[in-house]
């Protein structure tokens, strides 16, 4: 059994001012029992994510192998412990003060990149030559290895799908100073590669000393211990001309997929420019969907397992679109709950009291209808309906299904039947 918990951690930031900082913690815990007769569960592992904002969306996949997480600011993964580390932890505790130190294995290759290419360096045996190199590069795949003299089979160093497409004709390799140096030309220049091969993080990334020095120089004014005074600084902008979105320049809304087997984020999307509207369930066997505002529309996305095809990076599928729902949602200042039908036939916005607004998807008409201005025959029409409660009690819960809407108040549960005659 897998569960996701949410809690807050408070830590002192400045003891003199007695100020506190609150951290949001999302914890994914795996539990198990050796047999059904046992009443107690044991913890197999824990994965912790920390950040500054409350998450908008947290969902496990149906087989509990992956976690989808979204928030207005990034939630960082904090490496914890898993079942593989339990034995090591027990041994360290049993030895008292004796600590077990494990040497970190050397990286099989080192690499660096520029805006135009990626350079990989692999150490070679002393008696290696050109015939020892196994090299194959296509637009989307690479196979790189070293054949040792005492073995017919080469030791594979890099093999699999490239993170982005390469230009094989402009790429090359050379042996220099006892190392194999491979230069992979990027087909799309300017893009930063977080890795060379998808799912391979065994290599060690080298940073260009000149680029590091240049970055330090640009940021020197932010880390200086002294403040320059006496200089008149030019006002770059008028604070009265900024918009609401400009006040969140230090935040980056992200949507990520975390792989439980690999213990790392495999897919990430920046959704800073998209307004989070609500979450809904279209298929009980799948994780809940989420609705983002794209321009004036509300677009429904379904988390799914990524395809094995190297050309496909689809992990969030488009399920439906509610036309102009984003515009309507932004204009309703008293909305408390949002939901939609399982078949996405309609969306509903529920206010704090009394009213529920229903927006139906365009449906075929039973009779012909013409536009008065253009004379064009209209085949489908979208409907807007309003359901009103008899009392002014506060609404505490709201759920929409294909045929009914359930509204929970302090005193009663009201059920609305959602039905429209064909052609209406």
**Which CATH number fits the domain that encloses residue 125?**
2.60.40.790
Sign of CA dihedral 365, 370, 371, 377: positive
Place of tokens 């759920």: 399
| Domain extent at residue 408 | 274-424
One domain for residues 25 and 75: yes
One domain for residues 126 and 66: no
DSSP result, 322-385? ETTHHHHHHH-TTEEEEEE-TTSSEEEEEESBSEEEEEEPPEEEEEEEE-TTT-PEEEEE--EE
From 66, 51, 55, 57, select the one nearest 21 (Cα to Cα): 51
In this structure, is residue 160 part of a structural domain?
yes
In this structure, is residue 3 part of a structural domain?
yes
CA dist 307 and 310 (Å) reads 8
One domain for residues 79 and 153: no
CB 290 within 8 A of CB 302: no
One domain for residues 263 and 278: no
Domain final residue pick, 240, 272, 304: 272
In this structure, is residue 120 part of a structural domain?
yes
pLDDT at res. 244: 46
One domain for residues 198 and 255: no
In the numeric block, which tokens belong to residue 312? Answer: 């496909």
In this structure, is residue 30 part of a structural domain?
yes
From 189, 156, 157, select the one nearest 170 (Cα to Cα): 189
One domain for residues 119 and 160: yes
One domain for residues 296 and 422: yes
Q: Please tell me the total count of domains within the chain.
A: 3
One domain for residues 54 and 20: yes
pLDDT at res. 86: 42
In this structure, is residue 172 part of a structural domain?
yes
HEC sequence for 203-231:
CEECCCHHHHHHHHHHCHHHHCCCCCCCC
Count CA atoms closer than 13 A to 412's CA, side-chain side: 9
In this structure, is residue 102 part of a structural domain?
no
One domain for residues 258 and 321: no
CA dist 406 and 223 (Å) reads 56
3-state secondary structure of 395: strand
From 142, 134, 107, 125, select the one nearest 179 (Cα to Cα): 125
In this structure, is residue 209 part of a structural domain?
no
pLDDT at res. 377: 74
In the chain (424 residues long), the average pLDDT of successive 10-residue segments reads 89 58 87 80 86 89 88 82 45 46 68 89 85 90 85 83 91 89 89 85 79 71 55 49 48 83 84 88 89 91 71 75 90 90 92 91 74 75 86 92 92 87 46
In this structure, is residue 191 part of a structural domain?
yes
One domain for residues 316 and 392: yes
pLDDT at res. 195: 87
Count CA atoms closer than 13 A to 216's CA, side-chain side: 7
């Amino acid at each position: 059994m897998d569960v996701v918990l949410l809690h807050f951690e408070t830590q002192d930031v400045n003891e003199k001012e007695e100020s506190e900082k609150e951290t949001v913690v999302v914890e994914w815990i795996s539990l198990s029992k050796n047999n059904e007769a046992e009443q107690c569960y044991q913890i197999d592992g824990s994965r912790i994510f920390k950040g500054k904002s409350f998450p908008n969306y947290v969902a496990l996949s149906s087989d509990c192998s992956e976690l989808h997480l979204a928030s207005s600011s990034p939630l960082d993964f904090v490496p914890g412990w898993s079942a593989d580390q339990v034995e090591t932890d027990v041994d360290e505790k049993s030895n008292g003060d004796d600590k077990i130190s494990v040497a970190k294995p050397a990286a099989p290759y080192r690499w660096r990149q520029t805006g135009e290419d990626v350079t990989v360096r692999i150490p070679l045996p002393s008696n290696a030559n050109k015939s020892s190199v196994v090299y194959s590069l296509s637009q989307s795949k690479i196979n790189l290895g070293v054949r040792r003299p005492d073995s017919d089979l080469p030791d594979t160093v890099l093999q699999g799908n490239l993170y982005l497409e390469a230009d094989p004709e402009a790429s090359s390799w050379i042996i220099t100073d006892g190392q194999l140096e491979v230069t992979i030309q990027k087909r799309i220049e300017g893009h930063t590669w977080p890795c060379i091969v998808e799912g391979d993080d065994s290599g060690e990334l080298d940073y260009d000393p000149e680029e590091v020095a240049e970055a330090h120089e640009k940021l020197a004014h932010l880390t200086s211990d002294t403040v320059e005074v006496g200089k008149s600084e030019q006002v770059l902008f008028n604070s009265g001309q900024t918009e609401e979105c400009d006040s969140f320049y230090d935040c980056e809304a992200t949507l990520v997929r975390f792989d439980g087997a690999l213990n790392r984020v495999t897919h990430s999307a920046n959704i800073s420019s998209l307004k989070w509207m609500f979450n809904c369930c279209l298929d009980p066997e799948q994780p809940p969907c989420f609705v983002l505002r794209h321009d004036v529309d509300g677009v429904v996305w379904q988390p799914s397992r990524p395809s094995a095809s190297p050309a496909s990076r689809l992990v969030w599928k488009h399920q439906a679109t509610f036309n102009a729902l984003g515009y309507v949602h932004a204009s309703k200042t008293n909305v408390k709950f949002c939901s939609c039908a399982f078949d996405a036939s309609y969306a509903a916005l529920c206010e704090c009291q009394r009213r529920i607004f229903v927006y139906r998807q365009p449906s075929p008409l039973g009779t012909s209808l013409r536009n008065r201005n253009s004379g064009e025959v209209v085949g489908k029409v979208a409907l807007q309906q309003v359901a009103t409660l008899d009392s002014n009690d506060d609404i505490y819960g709201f759920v929409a299904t294909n045929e009914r809407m359930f509204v929970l108040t302090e005193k009663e549960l009201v059920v609305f039947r959602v039905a429209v005659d064909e052609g209406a």
